[in-house]
Structure 1
């Protein structure tokens, strides 16, 4: 049975990247690893027409407490956050009806908790959106990503990262 979900492209790319990193670095269930993108998290490029492009990356985190159990099955569970303009944005659940979207410093695993370890960073390309544009975009997404609507399989941080 073929899954025609619009997220499949995202999931397939993420799985291929994770497989490549895991196969070259061995087991990473308790150890941090990272793909060097060759550019800093805040890299900007000015084009000929004087617009500024900003690098967009996705940070992938190993969820150690879950992956300690499921890694023997050949699968993993990961948290993701999108980094743009030196801020990382993600989505998490809570019992309230307000937004579950949150901002943090990039790769700040202490903010996420002790069971999260940065695994790798994926370069997604560049955006011409300003920080104000990003704020408007996030504001338009908050109603769709309320804290009480979080679901581990059907509406999680990876769905948010893909939509963002």
Structure 2
């Protein structure tokens, strides 16, 4: 007789965490379908979208926008990454801590961009990463060429 083991699902949080993805260029309309493209992203939780951008100062590069309406970018899609049990105050406190790590002058298109920030935030809120295609071109930029 065989024993059947039933895996129990790990309890997930109650608050949805979304990755909002934006096109940086009209070429993405074509590039997206072949697995390429250049994207901006933000993390939406508790009705607020958090993103990271560059500026020349050592103050935070993290900013808040209305979900799916980041100025200067064309909204492409929203992806449910997972759920969290962090309340609004806990998320804001967490963002304040990240603000010291993600300064505007630390932004780098290849090694520390908005998608890196979103991946870090999603991992900390849900233990799940963002989809790899969102930051594919930055990863390709780190491959050494001989």
Moved over 4 A (4+): 65-68
Q: Deviations for 1:128-149, whole angstroms, at most 9, x for unmatched residues?
A: 1111000111111111100001
Matched, 1:149 2:110: no
With structure 1 as the length reference, what TM-score do the two structures score?
0.60
Q: Residue 78 of structure 2: which of 117, 121, 134 is its match?
A: 121
SS of 1:102 mapped into structure 2: strand
**Pair 1:95 & 2:52 matched:** no
Q: Which has the larger radius of gyration?
A: 2
Partners in 1 of 2:26 and 2:114 — Cα distance?
A: 17
1:67, CA displacement in angstroms? Answer: 4.2
Partner residue of 1:79 out of 35, 40, 60:
40
> Over the residues paired in the alignment, what is the CA RMSD in angstroms?
2.1
1:111-164 CA-partner distances (Å, limit 9, x unpaired) = x21xx2111111012111111000111111111100001001110000000001
**Equivalent residue number for residue 60 of structure 1:** 21
The unaligned stretches of length 5 or more in structure 1 are 1-51
Partner of 1:46: none
What SS is found at the alignment partner of 2:14?
strand
Which of 128, 135, 139 aligns to 2:92? It is 135
Between Structure 1 and Structure 2, how many residues are aligned?
107
Q: Secondary structure at the residue paired with 1:135? A: helix
TM-score by length of 2: 0.67
Mark the runs of 5 or more structure 2 residues left unpaired by the alignment: 1-12, 122-146
